[in-house]
Amino acid sequence: MKKFILCLSLLTFSFSAAYAADIDLELLDAESRADQPSNNSIMFRHNAEQYRQLTDEQKEEIEEQREIYRQNAEKYDSYMRKKAQYEEQLRARQEQERRRAQALKPIKLYDKNLKIYALVNGEIISSSDMQSRINAFIMTTGIPYNKQTKDMIVSKVLQSAIDEKLKIQEAKKNDIKVTKTEIQKAVSDFEKSNGMTAGQLEKILNSANVRMSVWTSQITSEIAWRKLISKKGYGKISVSEGEINRAMEDIKKDMQTEKYMVSEIVINKKDARNAKELANVLRQDPRFELYAMQFSQSPSAANGGKLGWVLKGKLPPVLEKAVLKLKEGAVSDPVLYAGDYYIFKMDKIFNPKTDAHQLPSRKEVRAFLENKKLEEYSIKYIKDLRNRALIEKKI
């Protein structure tokens, strides 16, 4: 379950306060005014004739005063520029946060008339369900609902609602049960991990226009699916000593070669009309992992889009060309390959000559391979369910 985004106003205030601390406007203003030369200075009290009659020592004093004045004028001008720049940045950030807060408010997509949004093996997903789910998505991820993201959010939420139905249906077929106690514990754990008091979650959901029943349905689906995968998956996967040995050898070779830690978001061409907008959003919002988990259609989405370390020559040429152009932290434009659009982020560049590295233990490698196989089994299972299901989208 994603971490709650509950403290945007406090974070905004903290940022503004920290930034303002770097520029003490009142102190700079006082210093600048105090440093301004007085009209009683010797350089203001003499006309040209009087100046010629002054001694060299007096003229030198005047030149010193003029230099002080010039320096103070430059300091004051610099202060005024900094003040104007700070105020402009503050206004821009306040406007950005205002728009973000507006985008994160509960939205109303449908009128009061209940409509069937989709059918999953005969079970209904209503417009009311979608309304609650979209508001829950906005609330828990903090991804704004706007013209750049709304189509992707609706598509993601609908697919999640469909998968939720399929998981619960399949769990029932396999006699997997989820008790009220398990659901209550999951809710309680969520409240504790997010610093809430008992019962506070339901109040927050109500304020965000999210029905508690939709929230508990999502929890039920995930608990049931974990039980089902544990029951079926562990009996169908195994990791041999040979696999561990090969993985260890591959890791040793990787440690001696320049490589790149890359994350990806993969969207099928038919769903990618907003891909360019998404890439632009990702250049402003550093939460690439969160967006990957929500929108990417690749198996790597479960891991926040992370591909791990990639060696040169391992990616298809058209994709590698895009990756090699990136500096650390940069996000690529969408790249079309084999019917999908790829957006990459360069997380880190590894140079074996300068970067320290440590090999994982055999136990860590075994656990990694087991989790990978289990995740692959889970992905294949839900894909098979989708292919066999009768799914009708009505709107």
Domain end point (choices 46, 72, 103) = 103
Instruction: Quote the CA–CA distance of 111 and 252 in Å, as a whole number.
Output: 60
| Residue 329 token pair | 């932290």
Assess if residue 2 is contained within a domain: no
Asked if residues 379 and 302 have their Cβ atoms less than 8 Å apart, the reply is: yes
Assess if residue 285 is contained within a domain: yes
Dihedral angle computed from the Cα positions of residues 235, 216, 123 and 125, in that order, rounded to the nearest 10 degrees: -130
The answer to whether residues 270 and 233 belong to one domain is no
List the domain range (segments joined by +) for residue 232: 116-238+387-393
The answer to whether residues 296 and 232 belong to one domain is no
Domain end point (choices 81, 103, 125) = 103
Domain count, the chain: 3
- CATH no. for residue 354? 3.10.50.40
Assess if residue 382 is contained within a domain: no
Assess if residue 54 is contained within a domain: yes
Assess if residue 248 is contained within a domain: no
Residue type, 191: E
Sign (positive or negative) of CA dihedral 215, 220, 221, 225: positive
pLDDT tens for the chain, 395 residues long, are 333 333 333 333 333 333 334 444 444 444 444 444 444 444 444 466 676 777 878 778 878 888 888 888 888 888 888 888 887 777 766 666 665 555 455 656 666 677 888 999 999 998 888 989 998 888 888 787 877 788 888 888 999 999 999 999 999 999 999 999 999 999 998 888 878 888 888 888 888 888 899 899 999 999 999 999 988 888 888 899 999 999 998 888 777 777 888 999 999 888 888 888 889 989 988 889 888 888 898 888 877 888 888 888 888 999 999 999 999 999 999 999 999 999 999 998 887 777 767 778 899 899 889 888 988 899 899 999 999 999 998 76
- The pLDDT value given to residue 128: 87
Bridge partner list, 263 = 306, 345
The answer to whether residues 138 and 228 belong to one domain is yes
Write out the H or E segment, with its range, that includes residue 44.
none
**Buried/exposed 350-377: b ≥16 CB within 10 Å, e otherwise:** beeeeeeeeeeeeeebbeebeeebbbee
Residue 54: other Cβ atoms inside 10 A: 14
Assess if residue 85 is contained within a domain: yes
Residue given tokens 């430059």 in the structure block: 74
Asked if residues 4 and 194 have their Cβ atoms less than 8 Å apart, the reply is: yes
The answer to whether residues 125 and 221 belong to one domain is yes
Instruction: Quote the CA–CA distance of 35 and 26 in Å, as a whole number.
Output: 14
Assess if residue 293 is contained within a domain: yes
The answer to whether residues 180 and 225 belong to one domain is yes
- CATH no. for residue 127? 1.10.4030.10
Instruction: Quote the CA–CA distance of 293 and 143 in Å, as a whole number.
Output: 12
The answer to whether residues 187 and 282 belong to one domain is no
The answer to whether residues 232 and 315 belong to one domain is no
- The pLDDT value given to residue 39: 42
The answer to whether residues 122 and 98 belong to one domain is no
Asked if residues 259 and 310 have their Cβ atoms less than 8 Å apart, the reply is: yes
Of 141, 148, 150, 140, residue with least CA distance to 107: 150
Asked if residues 69 and 37 have their Cβ atoms less than 8 Å apart, the reply is: yes
Domain end point (choices 103, 134, 150) = 103
The answer to whether residues 95 and 182 belong to one domain is no
Assess if residue 371 is contained within a domain: no
- The pLDDT value given to residue 105: 57
Residue 300: other Cβ atoms inside 10 A: 20
Residue 94: other Cβ atoms inside 10 A: 12
The answer to whether residues 69 and 159 belong to one domain is no
| Strands (E) located in the chain | 116-120, 123-126, 259-268, 306-311, 335-337, 340-350, 391-393
Residue 25: other Cβ atoms inside 10 A: 13
The answer to whether residues 25 and 93 belong to one domain is yes
The answer to whether residues 350 and 269 belong to one domain is yes
